[in-house]
Structure 1
Amino acid sequence: MKEKLLRLFFGLRKAEITEEDKGRLMDFYKKLLIIAWPAALEGLLLSLINSLDTMMVGKLGSEAIAAVGLCGQPRMILLLLVQSLCVGTTAIVARRKGANNQVAAVSCLKQSLVIITGLGIFITIAGYFLAEPLLRLSGAADDTLPYALTYFRITSAVYLANCWTMCICAAMRGIGKTRITMVVNMAANLVNVFLNFCLISGRLGFPAMGIRGAALATAIGTCVGCVMAFYVVIRNDGYLSLRHAGSFRPERETMMGLIKIGSGTILESVCMRVGFLITGRMIAGVSTAAYATNQVVSQVSGLSFTLGDGVSSACVSLVGQSLGAERKDHAKLYVRVAQRISLFVSAGLILFMFFGRNFLPTLFSEEQAIIQGAALGFLVLIFGIYHQNMRVVLSGALRGAGDVKYVALVSLVSVAVLRPLTTWLFCYPLNALFPALQLGFTGPWLSFVLDSFVRAGMLSYRVKKGNWVNIRV
């Protein structure tokens, strides 16, 4: 009976697995889960901590919640190049480890850090001086702009430290060391929460600083994470130690790989940022309450995304290592295994959000309009969770293989075009026609469901074709 259940839930079709690998299928699950669980736990705990962060800020009112949320998109825009480079770093380090070439893997990390240092200095300066136009572009209104400006300028001062941490953690994910990234990011965020507790309302002898205290807590937490990340790569006993052989000078092979993957990722990121920015402006245009409600649902929905991201991180690492070792069959198998795990994760999250839809919003706000709107948002959200997690896994696999241009195309079609159009349709014309449906609150999440369906479908088609395993980086 036990074997039948294992075969039912964890077995794959004959066409998806060779006879050689069938007897050790559970080894593939174990290897993926060993890498996935720290990344998933990291994502889950970080999401919970961010939610706690929002709860603390929420005590200052809906304007403060909206202001912190408005800072998110400008931050992502400024970090766009850095994030793209980090995706390339993860993919290339994974390939080099799979090919058993430690020197090339270390060189990739060193050269990425050099580039990111220059980018980090630039965006730190840009973040301070361009704060107001960026926040206006995001939809900040007169009631939220003072809060948002204060928060954004303080947190932008530590962008360089943030960039270094992102780069080192990206390389660690490439070799499957997700426990390290979990510890680094958890420590940074725990410091953030503790200082939020002390500085927002003034506790344990600290002054009450309000939104300024929340920003300062975030900045200090970021610096703590950076120090810990550098400690990991300065030690002499790690696979990616900066003390090992490897060049800081740009090398053609490494640079071409970073440019190839990074350029496609930049295009994807631009499409996503533009799409999210337009969508965010539309939601903010409905009302401050609608935007604050969207932030509450986004915080909790982060649970679904980050757990899927954990599985995706493992998939990126193992797909890259398998292709580096010239095992295309194993790369495909890891994708199927990741999809199965994602299915179970999604089922649990759907139940959690369905039964918690009325209680969860009360953790963030006491305003009845926000609580009721968020409860409706959760009801809509659950229909897109499975396809969202599937999308995360499949896009991770394609990034690990270097097929970033197709992932960018998917983002262009769905995130930059479809999602803003449907958000506008739901939040404005249809909301005006059918006010009883409260589409100002649920419209963004109806758009999210459609977006997740389209992206999952397009990515599934690409993965099934199988040409992605032949890409060279």
Structure 2
Amino acid sequence: MNTDQKKLSLFALTWPIFIETLLYMVMGNADTLMLSQYSDHSVAAVGVANQIIAVIIVMFNFIALATAVLVAQYLGAERKQHAVEVSLISIAVNFLFGLVLSSVLFFFGKPILYTMKLSNHLLTEANDYLMIVGGFLFIQALIMTIGAILKSYGFTRETMYVTIGMNILNVIGNYLFIFGPFDFPVLGVKGVAISTTVSRLIGLIVIFSLLLKRTKMPFSLSVLRSLPFHHIRDLLKIGIPSAGEHLAYNTAQMLITYFITWLGAEALTTRVYTQNIMMFVFLFGIAISQGTQILVGHLVGAGRYTEAYTRCLKSLRSAIVISITMASISFIFSRQLLSLFTDNEQIIETGRLLLLLTIVLEPGRSFNLVIISSLRAAGDVKFPVYMGILSMWGVSVAISYFLGIEAGLGLIGVWISFIADEWLRGLLMLWRWRSKVWMRKSLIPSIETA
């Protein structure tokens, strides 16, 4: 391992990732919080549209995830040229893929929304948001890919700074379009969508400049044409299974959202507000898991498997302790937090019950966040997918329908299904990590023969 990689530590990697992820969540919550001053129905419409967008982002993410793993392992093995080649190819591939999927959302967003059986008012606003944000989602695909590359090189602070700037621009844009100061046009959902898209475009320009400056990476059409495209095989080998796990989760969440629409707009709005608060609870787990993934990838690339094994378990313990603490704090202040979004007493009371259940839910989620990221970093990508599909659909979706709809427990039943799913998958992932099967999944053999 070279001297640059020796300087990497979990804390040094994680705190910028924490701030960056926090700000990404703030961007989403800023939309929700500021729209809540405009209309609860607009919040519900954007919430449904974002469920669809989340599925598309998962598809982009399969290249970004694979890029992060490959670049980290190549750097750990001190094969910098391979890391550069993978980085450039992944940017080109995700750009083209992003254009295709953005076009699908732009032209076919309304038929997709029809399947969610929204009321006409919600449908119109959701479609406006989907056409603008979804139609330019290829920008987010590029930001994700470039961000993954920078993080694998250890430049987590750079991606954090970009996210700070994007958030500031987004909040300013939201304020202008929602509240209309200085005779600015009040556009509501359309304005929020425009603000989100423009801030992302500016963020892309900045993060791409940082990539070229920090890594000295050559980037031109002639360079791209000369790249060995066999790296695409490894990107797909890791990316498709990884995306399968995320896709299974997001499509299951879409179906569960569909069930919730049967309970009415109030239940849908309650779910959006509560999950916005929950995002801050599992934020720490996300940051720890991403930092751990970078470290495990470097360690596996360098053949230091025992250190990789120990690193994952240490990170897991930290994530569990922090998640329980944050979930408990969120419940204690649940009334105040929910009151930031609404004064509807029914929404507040139901949301408080859901946040109480979150204290049980979040430790289970920590297992999945940390261990699945570590398994992925080691190249063991298929097992989490198989178990994920089995649990998310066989447990989460099934129990959501049975308890939430058939048994009449509503959102409480849905949250119980989330708990069962996260804990079942989490314990299975722990068993897999302790089995050490992942030690035979490293990409280093294919690197050596490349």
Normalising by the smaller structure, the TM-score range is over 0.9
- Map 1:373-392 onto structure 2 (within 5 A): 373-392=350-369
Indicate the residue corresponding to 1:448 in structure 2. Answer: 418
User: Contact conserved, 1:346 with 1:389, CA < 8 A, in 2?
Assistant: yes
**2:112 corresponds to:** 134
CA RMSD of aligned residues (A): 2.1
Amino acid paired to 2:307? H
| 1:77-92 equivalences in 2 (<5 Å) | 77-92=55-70
Number of equivalent positions = 438
- Residue of structure 2 equivalent to 1:462: 432
Report the TM-score, using the length of structure 1 for normalisation: 0.88
Given the superposition, is the C-alpha separation of residues 450 and 366 from structure 1 closer, same or farther in structure 2, using an over 3 Å criterion? same
Task: Confirm or deny: 8 A CA contact 2:31 2:174 kept in the other structure.
Answer: yes
Q: Which residue of 2 aligns with 1:420?
A: 397
User: Which sections of structure 1, spanning at least 5 residues, go unmatched?
Assistant: 1-27, 432-438
Counterpart AA for 2:288: V
1:179 aligns with 2:157: yes
Where does residue 367 of structure 1 map in the other structure? 344
Return the offset for 1:242. Answer: 3.2
Describe the shift of the 1:31–1:285 C-alpha distance in structure 2 as closer, same or farther (beyond 3 A). same
Q: 247, 254, 262: which is aligned to 2:239? A: 262
Matches of 2:295 and 2:216 in 1, distance apart?
A: 17
Equivalent AA in structure 2 for residue 43 of structure 1: T
Aligned to 1:226: 204
Q: How does 1:231-250 map to 2 (within 5 A)?
A: 231-235=209-213, 238-239=214-215, 241-242=217-218, 249=226
Residue in structure 2 matching 1:41, options 16, 19, 22 = 19
Structure 2 unaligned regions, length at least 5: 1-5, 444-450
Alignment partner, residue 406 of structure 2 = 429
Give the drift of 1:253. 4.5
> What one-letter code is carried by the residue in structure 1 that aligns with 2:175?
F
Instruction: Determine whether 1:31 maps to 2:9.
Output: yes
Q: What is the identity percentage for the equivalent residue pairs of Structure 1 and Structure 2?
A: 23
Distance (whole Å) between structure 1 residues aligned to residue 54 and residue 326 of structure 2: 26
Distance 1:233 1:202 in 2: 36
1:48-95 CA-to-partner distances (Å, cap 9, x unmatched) read 342232111112222111111101222123333321111100000000
TM (normalized to structure 2)? 0.92
Deviations 1:148-189 (A, max 9, x none): 011111112321211111110011222232212211222212
CA contact (8 A) 1:106 1:246 kept: no
Amino acid at match of 2:193: A
In structure 2, the partner of 1:405 is 382
* Distance verdict in 2 for CA 1:269–1:249, change over 3 Å: farther
Q: For the residues of structure 2 that align with 1:110 and 1:352, how far apart are their CA atoms? A: 43
Q: Distance in 1 between matches of 2:7 and 2:146?
A: 26
Residues 150 and 211 in structure 2, CA contact (< 8 A), matched pair in contact too: no
Aligned AA for 2:34? M
Alpha-carbon contact 2:266-2:347 (below 8 Å) kept: yes
Alignment equivalent of 1:67, drawn from 23, 42, 45? 45
Kindly indicate whether the alpha-carbon contact (under 8 Å) linking 1:39 and 1:310 is maintained by their aligned counterparts in 2.
yes
Separation (CA, whole Å) in 2 of partners of 1:335 and 1:240: 31
Residue by residue, what CA displacement relative to the aligned partner does 1:298-356 show, whole Å, maximum 9, x if unpaired? 10111122221100111110111001111111111210221122133213212211211
Change (3 A) 1:290 1:133: same
Which residue of the partner structure matches residue 286 of structure 1? 263
Question: Do the aligned partners of 1:32 and 1:314 also contact (CA within 8 Å) in 2?
Answer: yes
Structure 2 equivalent of residue 211 of structure 1: 189
CA contact (8 A) 1:74 1:138 kept: no
Correspondence list, 1:195-210, <5 A: 195-210=173-188
Name the CA distance, whole Å, in 1 between partners of 2:388 and 2:41.
31
- 1:194 corresponds to which residue? 172
Q: Would the alpha carbon gap of residues 333 and 242 (structure 1) be closer, same or farther in structure 2, given more than 3 Å must change? A: farther
Secondary structure of 1:140's aligned partner: coil
Q: Deviations over 1:209-242 (max 9, x none)?
A: 111111111111111111111111222xx23623
Q: CA deviation at 1:128?
A: 0.7
